[in-house]
Amino acid sequence: MEKTMTRPLRRTRAVSAASRLLPLLCGLFSLQGAQAAWTPRRPLLATQVSTPEAQPGQGIGIHSASSVYWTKAQETHNFIVGNLLTSYNSYRVNTTASTGTAYEWYNVSQIDADAAMIQAGDSRYATYMNSTYAWMNNMWDGANTLGGYFAAANINGTGSGGDKYVDDNALTGVAYLDAYDVTTGATQAAYLNSAKACANWLMYSGQWDSTYGGGFWWSTVKESKPTQSNGLALQLFLRLYKITGQTYYRDWAVSIKNWLEARMYDSATGLYVWKIDGAGAGVRHNEKFTYDNAIMVEAFLLYSQVMGDNSYTTKAQTLGVKMNTTLWNSTYHVYIFNTADGRVNPAWSGWGSQAMIKLYQRDGNPAWLDYAQQNIDYMNSKLRNAANNGYYTFCNFNGSGIDTRMEGVDQAWMQRIQALLSNYR
């Protein structure tokens, strides 16, 4: 998951023609064989109605039929189907310069977006979700007994290789558990096994070591240890412990949490910093990113729920308040990308809305929803193309300086957070 101060195009690499072997873990991607010839799929119509399928482990959300956010979530999905979905059931990086390449975290973000639509009560999105999940098999390193997802491949599934990223693999596991929550039977079991496989790679690939006192590296290059990689891994291990009861997931979660609190927390602002890198004890980069801290809010809410420690609900609430003190632009009512960059991005700024919705789900305080809604309203006002319903990737706070690329991950996150909000507004 690229995070630079200027956000260039996603990690660029040469993509070879070699395809990967199937993952060896039992049950992983058992849907692969079910995907025969591709049949063209049309965008879903807003007037169609479906019966929600059961969601193990959590109550089913029912969006309001009159919610403008549900309508916009559907319109965003239709843009994605018309402009980014490929005949292979993968999603291209963007609509302009990288149409032949697929990124891991872009594709799993779309899986997560479709899971949110199902959770909101519309099971028609399961076909999209499950088909892309099956395609993801192409990015798995089947030549390595530990597996792990590569970050990029050709849209036809060939050419995966190169570095692997902790945040990408952890986010993939989290997205699969969101899909697990809205599926049943063999499909549900496959998603769980795939999430376990992601965790297995995290545990045994050597990405956690004693440098800087612990913590996961960002990638197999081992150049830095960031908050977001560790926060997403914390979420994955907590959720797997809740589902399976396996104590090694709990132990990993505790270790990650302790490291984050000891090394990445900035007591002056009450927020979590970007990363640590460099020789020796390392250099801490104190920039604050919205999505780093949103990830930590969600992680603390999970820790409270799974570990039965209510003090972490309070920590999540306090962190949410600190986000809204430092990372919220009170003039334009939007979350900033980071404290060193005066711009807004649908995915990375939009992550703040998801965290606020999760806080509302925990304590019922409508003020959290106000922040979530205003943040989304800004995106719809400043970054949405009214002609095709797609979202641009960056703008300045006042809406100027628009970067007109339409990145798949930005569309996925706007679909997801609007689907989540539609359950309440």
Strands 395-396 and 343-344: antiparallel
**Can you give the CATH number for the domain in which 177 is found?**
1.50.10.20
Give the CA distances from residue 16 to residues 39, 80, 104, 106, 366, in Å, rounded to whole numbers and listed in that order. Answer: 27, 26, 16, 20, 50
Counting beta carbons within 10 angstroms of the beta carbon of residue 275, is it exposed (0 to 12), middle (13 to 18) or buried (19 or more)? buried
* Chain centroid offset of residue 73 CA: 16
Q: Domain count of the chain?
A: 1
Which residue is it, tokens 């570990």? 307
pTM: 0.89
Q: Backbone phi, then psi, for 159, in 5-degree steps?
A: 85, 10
- Is residue 244 assigned to a domain? yes
- Is residue 22 assigned to a domain? no
- Is residue 166 assigned to a domain? yes
- Is residue 266 assigned to a domain? yes
Angle formed by the axes of helices 408-421 and 366-382, to 10°? 140
DSSP 8-state class, residue 152 = E
Tokens of 94: 């963007």
Structural domain boundaries enclosing 293: 43-421
- Is residue 124 assigned to a domain? yes
CA 302 – CA 286 distance, rounded (Å): 25
Task: Specify which residues 284 forms β-bridges with.
Answer: 276
* Chain centroid offset of residue 288 CA: 18
- Is residue 30 assigned to a domain? no
Predicted confidence pLDDT, tens digits, the chain (425 residues): 754 443 333 333 333 333 333 333 444 444 544 333 333 455 665 534 333 333 333 334 677 778 999 999 999 999 999 999 999 999 999 999 999 999 999 999 999 999 999 999 999 999 999 999 999 999 999 999 999 999 999 999 999 999 999 999 999 999 999 999 999 999 999 999 999 999 999 999 999 999 999 999 999 999 999 999 999 999 999 999 999 999 999 999 999 999 999 999 999 999 999 999 999 999 999 999 999 999 999 999 999 999 999 999 999 999 999 999 999 999 999 999 999 999 999 999 999 999 999 999 999 999 999 999 999 999 999 999 999 999 999 999 999 999 999 999 999 999 999 999 999 99
Three-state secondary structure call for residue 80: helix
- Is residue 34 assigned to a domain? no
- Is residue 164 assigned to a domain? yes
